[in-house]
Amino acid sequence: MAELDDMRFWRIPGRGHHASTSQFDRWVNDSNIPETFEYAKAWWDYVELVRRFACRLDTEDVRVVGHYIVETPPPCERLPMPAVAVVTPGVTFALRFDFGSWSLKHREVSEWVVSIVRRSPYVGPLFGLIDETEDLRRLGVEGLAPDFLFGSYRQDPARFSCLVSDEWDVATLMYILAHEA
């Protein structure tokens, strides 16, 4: 039966409870942007979304794998952003989110670049979430290159990079590719 602890939280005796700090959490702490930035909410939305992705994948292993700058539409600001890797035992997802001018220059306002490394090739349906033939290496995607920028899904279904239009499609793609990875 649950008991009330010293901090007034309900705890189940015998269960270990711990809070862990990921590399991503440390980066957020060290790189926190001023509240005066007009786009501070978008920055924090990304931080919370990355944490939500990790939670849905049941992992606390979130690493910063690169850095890039988002140049926002007016009022123009330059926001430091982390490219992150959400790591599970069977698959790693490297994520780059740009709600600024970069996404406007690339196919249908794709705000997300996702790179996937699976221990085995994925051969199931992708439901049109990505262009299976597009090779992003020619773009030299800042933040992911060179360690997390790969060829197309068709070139290697176990290790590829792709443009994804929004966070809903990113979440769907991650769920599909993590299933039975």
Taking the C-alpha atoms of residue 54 and residue 60, their distance in angstroms, rounded to an integer, is 6
Output the CA–CA distances (angstroms, integers) from residue 55 to 48, 49, 66, 82, 87, in the order listed. 10, 10, 21, 18, 11
78 domain residue, yes or no:
yes
pLDDT in tens, 112-137: 999 999 999 999 999 999 999 999 99
pLDDT in tens, 19-37: 678 899 999 999 988 888 8
9 domain residue, yes or no:
no
3 domain residue, yes or no:
no
Q: Environment class of residue 22 by beta-carbon count within 10 Å: exposed (0-12), middle (13-18) or buried (19+)?
A: buried
168 domain residue, yes or no:
yes
First to last CA, the chain: 36
107 domain residue, yes or no:
yes
Q: How many domains does the chain have?
A: 1
- What residue numbers bound the domain in which 56 lies? 20-178
Whether residue 83 contacts residue 148, with contact meaning beta carbons closer than 8 Å, is answered with yes
Classify each residue of 83-117 as buried b or exposed e, where b means 16 or more C-beta atoms within 10 Å of its C-beta.
Answer: bbbbbbeebbbbbbbbbbebbeeeeeebbbbbbbb
pLDDT band at 5 (very low <50, low <70, confident <90, very high): low
31 domain residue, yes or no:
yes
Count of CB atoms within 10 A of residue 61's CB?
A: 16
111 domain residue, yes or no:
yes
DSSP state of 34: P
Whether residue 100 contacts residue 72, with contact meaning beta carbons closer than 8 Å, is answered with yes
pLDDT band at 145 (very low <50, low <70, confident <90, very high): confident
- Does residue 102 register a pLDDT over 90? no
* Per-residue model confidence (pLDDT) at position 176: 96
Query: Quick one: tokens of 96?
Result: 């780059």
pLDDT band at 11 (very low <50, low <70, confident <90, very high): low
- Does residue 162 register a pLDDT over 50? yes
- Does residue 17 register a pLDDT over 70? no
* Per-residue model confidence (pLDDT) at position 9: 56
- Which stretches of 6-72 are DSSP H helices? 23-31, 40-56
- Does residue 45 register a pLDDT over 70? yes
51 domain residue, yes or no:
yes
